[in-house]
Amino acid sequence: MTFTLGTMVVGFLLLAGRLVMIQGIAADRYVDVGESQRVRSVVLPAERGAIFDRNGYDLALTVGQSTVTADPRSVQDPLATAQALAPILGDKVGDLQDRLTKESSFVYLARKIDDATAQKVKDLALAGIDVIDEPERFLPAGDLASPLLGRVGLDNEGLSGLEGQFEKRLAGKPGKMTLEKDPDGRAIPGGLRQSRPSARGDDLVLTIDRSMQHETERALAAEIVTAKAKGGMAIVMETRTGEVLALANLATDPKSGAPRPADKNMALTNVYEPGSVNKMITISGALEEGVVRPQDELSVPGTIKVADHVFKEHDPHPVENWSITEVMANSSNVGSIMIGQKLGKDRIDRYLRAYGFGQKTGLAFPGESSGILLDPRKWSGTSIGTVPIGQGVAVTGMQMLAAYNTVANGGEYVAPKLVKATVGGDGRPQPTPASDRRRVISARTSQQVTAMLSEVVRVGTGKLAAIDGYTVAGKTGTARKPLEGARGYQEGAYVSSFAGFVPAERPELSAIVILDEPTPIFGGIVAAPVFAAVSRYGLRQFRIPPPPPATPPAAAGVPEASPEGAQGVGEAGGEEIPATPVPGQNPATGPAPANPSPGTAPNPAANPVPTTLPPANRPKPAA
């Protein structure tokens, strides 16, 4: 009895001591443990900003998508729970069970599922299992302009394109909610709730016109199919502002053979040797320097030897007395080389750089290439023959279009522009700065070059770029593709192009079309018609009237030439393609294969950023 009583007293004292420790000395620690099991913190994702075209139409926005999550600490029977969820989520029981037994308060079970699947999970009412809304990127226009827009990851972070470039502005700032949950993981009504709201990301308003983009992709896709090309790209630009109205990048699907969006924005990331479209730069530099005049005549033979290589025209001819205008209209290799020799390598290099070659455009687009332009001190003996005709130099499509847009702007270079404005939380657009400008050639030289380029379309190799009622100025190009990782050129592989602007008398639209390995190979046959199609649409879309009837700014005495490739002949009078690879010349690799809105203003420049975006077009926050 004495032993039993003593034992009870000792036990009571131990219990009392334990209670004193719990309630006093260790109280804070046990409170913390209790709260850690009861209080949960939930990250509130920020809604990603939307991307609009120039008229406020959605190109990319964020919607709510259902995601299944679990709090393993609140799951009562991991195996039974996994068995119930596996057939609904299409997952293995073992994999789900592994996640449901993790030492964690939060795990994903299935992300961004359809509404029907989400409802089936909700109907199970399983302890520790939640269905939450998660932001998902949605492209209302499908694949339209997708290589330009770029991609986002599973967590809605920008990975490429404009989504990646403007990640910090688009992403916004996540918020946080702290709340109490019962042992089954359900929120306790009236329990602790603290919240820091998320901040929505800024919107982007692009210079792109949705309708113009759609038509450009459609026309390019149709020609890729017709010409059996590996791919292509096309850009349409508002002449005065440098604002890009459409930018298409298409590649041929190797399985289906149909055009699809390219994996990247090749018009900015890939380079190609431009071929004869580069002759405009050679000739404009010579005119600006006073080396030649439009009416000057050259005795142009059918071949010319430069160092150890003989360059020749594709269409053999005897010695011809051609004016400088005729050299351009006939796309004469030999004549262009002769003009380049008069200008000299240092001045050729200076004008190439003044037109923007060898440097990025300033768009800061991810992966943008500077192109390849060798220092003239590193030129080989044949470079004075290759560079004037667009071989031995590599450019992006955007660089070449910006060069032609310089002539269209009276000799003033205008940097390309893709983003018209950003829109903050107040819904008011903040216009981006105007494009940088610099003078490259005089207005007089610009007029002379424009007249020559008009002759290319009127009577030369670019006839298929003509548009009824309008004077088109432009130049065809057909260039061999360099070997990858080796010297020389690929056999039978060509890049074909057309670059120009319209109306020639008062340019409003500038455009370039580039096709990778088409059949036939000539730019005047495959690229010029696409230029005409997209430009014709743009003239109508932006209500650009034809200028008053007037005599075209043509040089007298220019004979007509058939379009490139007609009756098996290349660019009339003198081809754009070196007959054989130039020894030792391979400064660039060829382009990788390239992808198939309504404006109401008289011209794109007259379509200012709206003071507020149309409410109907602003995306609703994800639930």
Residues 464, 528: contact at Cβ < 8 Å?
yes
Q: What per-residue confidence (pLDDT) applies to 88?
A: 87
Q: Which segment of 136-150, 257-271, 476-490 scores lowest on mean pLDDT?
A: 476-490
**pLDDT class of 122 with cuts at 50, 70, 90:** confident
Q: 174 vs 320, which has greater pLDDT?
A: 320
pLDDT over 70, % of the chain: 79
Q: Is the peptide bond before 503 cis (omega within 30 degrees of 0)?
A: yes
- At 67 the pLDDT is 85
Position 568 pLDDT exceeds 80: no
Encoded amino acid at 248, one letter:
A
pLDDT tens digits, one per residue of 308-351: 999 999 889 999 999 999 999 999 999 999 999 999 999 999 99
Rounded mean pLDDT, 256-271: 96
Q: For residue 599, what pLDDT is reported?
A: 37
pLDDT band at 518 (very low <50, low <70, confident <90, very high): very high
The confidence score (pLDDT) of residue 186 equals 60
279 touches 580 (CB < 8 A): no
CATH of span 41-70+107-206: 3.90.1310.10
* Cβ contacts of 514 within 8 Å, gap of 6 or more: 232, 233, 234, 267, 272, 397, 495, 496, 497, 527, 591, 594
Confidence at residue 577, expressed as pLDDT on a 0 to 100 scale? 40
Q: Are strands 51-52 and 203-206 parallel, antiparallel or unpaired?
A: parallel
Q: Select from 55, 451, 78 the least CA-distant residue to 214.
A: 55
CA distances from 379 to 110, 308, 341, 373, 593 (A): 59, 14, 14, 10, 29
Does the pLDDT at position 479 exceed 70? Answer: yes
- Taking all residues of the chain, what is their mean pLDDT, rounded to a whole number? 84
- Side-chain half-sphere exposure of 149, counting CA atoms within 13 A: 28
Where does residue 255 rank: exposed (0-12), middle (13-18), buried (19+ CB within 10 A)? exposed
Helix (H), strand (E), coil (C) string for 537-591: HHHHHCCCCCCCCCCCCCCCCCCCCCCCCHHHCCCCCCCCCCCCCCCCCCCCCCC
CA-CA distance, 325 to 322, in Å (whole number)?
8
Q: Which range is least confidently modeled, 57-71, 173-187, 470-484, 493-507? A: 173-187
Rounded Cα distance, 110 and 118, in Å: 10
**Of the ranges 282-296, 481-495, 567-581, which is most confident?**
282-296
Q: Looking at residue 402, what is its pLDDT?
A: 99
Q: Encode pLDDT of 371-385 as tens digits.
A: 999 999 999 999 999
Region 98-106 average pLDDT: 84
pLDDT of 129: 85
Cβ–Cβ < 8 Å for 355, 404: no
| Contacts with 439 (C-beta within 8 Å, 6 or more apart), sequence order | 411, 412, 413
Rounded to an integer, the average pLDDT of 238-245 is 98
pLDDT value for 131: 83
Task: Tell me what pLDDT residue 517 has.
Answer: 97
Higher pLDDT, 556 or 13: 13
Is the model's pLDDT at 551 over the cut of 70? no
The answer, yes or no, to whether residue 224 has pLDDT greater than 60, is yes
Report d(CA 387, CA 347) in Å as an integer. Answer: 12
* CATH 3.40.710.10, the chain: domain bounds: 210-422+434-605
List b or e across 533-564, with b for residues whose CB sees 16 or more CB atoms inside 10 angstroms: bbbbbbbebbebeeeeeeeebbbeebeebbbb
Which residues does 342 contact at the CB level (< 8 Å), separation at least 6?
Answer: 286, 291, 292
- pLDDT band at 463; cut points 50, 70, 90: very high
CA dihedral of residues 24, 27, 28, 34 (deg, nearest 10): -170
Dmax (CA) for the chain in angstroms is: 136
**pLDDT band at 181, cuts 50/70/90?**
low
Q: Identify the weakest region by mean pLDDT among 81-85, 478-482, 509-513.
A: 81-85
- What count of Cα atoms within 13 Å lies in the side-chain half-sphere of residue 100? 27
Percentage of the residues of the chain whose pLDDT score is greater than 90: 60
User: Domain 210-422+434-605: what homologous superfamily?
Assistant: DD-peptidase/beta-lactamase superfamily (3.40.710.10)
What are the residue ranges of CATH 3.90.1310.10 in the chain?
41-70+107-206
- Please report where in the chains the tokens 């007029």 appear, as a residue: 447
User: What token pair was written down for 90?
Assistant: 């299409």
Q: Which of 148-162, 190-204, 429-443 has the lowest mean pLDDT?
A: 190-204
Contact 617, 52 (CB under 8 A): yes
Looking at residue 515, what is its pLDDT? 98
Query: What is the pLDDT at residue 164?
Result: 97
Contact between 543 and 311 (Cβ < 8 Å) = no
Of 84-93, 199-208, 499-508, 575-584, minimum mean pLDDT range:
575-584
pLDDT at 248 over 70: yes
At 267, the pLDDT band (50, 70, 90 cuts) reads very high
CB atoms within 10 A of CB 394: 28
What confidence category does residue 528 fall into, taking pLDDT thresholds of 50, 70 and 90? Answer: very high
Tokens found for residue 251? 């590649």
Q: Among 188, 193, 170, 222, which Cα is nearest to 62's?
A: 170
